[in-house]
Every structure is written in structure tokens, then in C-alpha cells.
């Protein structure tokens, strides 16, 4: 599904390669969410820095979810449902990221703020990815 080039063992990104990888991963993530959810994220931002990968998305809620999240109880329901989506994204993609970067994920976290239509996934790897 991806045209992203895998890092060789212990290779680090220079600034040019880092920006290209960020762009390629952005396209990959947009395709992933479109395929899984039928709706892509309006804005995706990928940041690779040192030993960290940060994926941010804004504008992921469907129109019904936007209506539901306007209530207090609805906010909790949408946050909970979207947290399940984030967990599945991690299950689906963490092995891919590890293979791509030739590095082991040693820590990760994700968060959902449905009321702000924002989500984020942060992964820390066991080695430096950038120069």
C-alpha cells in the first residue's frame, strides 16, 4: 500500500530524507484512514525527530459525530469510540513503522480530543532516526 522507502540498518535521515519520509507517511496515513473508516482526516501532520514519530490529525469526525460530541455525554461516547480507532491504528501500523525505520518501538501513546476534532499518536523508538 505504500511507496515509503525502508531505512537500512542504523541509517539516519538527513533533513531532506526526513521531510520526504514525513510526506510519504502523511499520504500513507491518509490512505489508511480513508480505507478503514471511509473518511480521511482533513489535516494530517507527521513529524520525525531524533527517536520520535508524531502523527497528528485534525478534522476526523463524521457529521453525526460532530453533532453528538456537542453534548457532555456525547463527548465521552465519541472519545471512547475514537480511542478504539486509535488503538486499532496502533495495532495495524506499529509493526509497519518498526519495519520501516528498522527500529523497535519502546513507548507509545495516543490521545483523542473529540471536542476539538484532534487526535495524536506518538512513538518513541530504541534508536535515533534523524541526524
Q: What is the pLDDT of residues 5-52, one digit of tens each?
A: 555 566 788 999 999 999 999 999 999 888 887 777 889 999 999 999
115-120: average pLDDT: 90
Strands 105-113 and 52-58: unpaired
Helix (H) or strand (E) holding 124: strand 118-125
131 found inside a domain: no
**Structural domain contains residue 5:** no
Domain assignment present for 2? no
Cell numbers describing residue 53: 514519530
Distances in whole angstroms, Cα of residue 36 to Cα of each of 39, 40, 77, 126: 8, 9, 20, 29
Range of the domain at 94: 15-125
* 49 found inside a domain: yes
In this prediction, residues 99-112 reach a mean pLDDT of: 93
Q: Does 57 score more than 80 pLDDT?
A: yes
79-95 burial code (b ≥16 CB/10 A, e <16): beebeebbeebbeebee
Q: Is residue 4 part of a domain?
A: no
Does residue 7 fall inside a structural domain?
Answer: no
Q: 10 lies in a domain?
A: no
Note the pLDDT tens digit of each residue in 70-83.
Answer: 988 898 899 888 88
The mean pLDDT value of the chain amounts to 88
- E strand or H helix at 17: helix 15-37
Q: How many domains does the chain have?
A: 1
In a domain, 40, yes or no: yes
DSSP string, 49-108: ETTEEEEEEE----HHHHHHTTSHHHHHHHHHHHHHHHHHHHHHHHHHHHHHHT--EEEE
Amino acid at each position: 500500500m505504500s511507496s515509503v522507502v525502508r531505512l537500512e540498518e542504523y541509517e539516519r535521515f538527513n533533513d531532506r530524507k526526513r521531510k520526504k519520509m514525513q510526506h510519504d507517511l502523511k499520504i500513507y496515513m491518509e490512505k489508511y484512514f480513508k480505507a478503514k473508516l471511509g473518511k480521511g482526516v482533513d489535516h494530517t501532520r507527521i513529524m520525525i525527530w531524533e527517536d520520535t514519530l508524531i502523527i497528528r490529525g485534525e478534522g476526523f469526525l463524521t457529521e453525526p459525530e460532530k453533532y453528538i460530541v456537542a453534548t457532555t455525554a456525547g463527548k465521552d461516547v465519541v472519545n471512547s469510540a475514537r480511542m478504539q480507532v486509535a488503538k486499532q491504528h496502533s495495532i495495524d501500523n506499529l509493526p509497519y513503522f518498526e519495519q520501516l525505520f528498522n527500529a523497535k518501538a519502546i513507548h507509545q501513546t495516543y490521545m483523542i480530543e473529540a471536542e476539538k476534532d484532534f487526535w495524536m499518536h506518538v512513538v518513541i523508538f530504541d534508536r535515533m532516526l534523524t541526524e
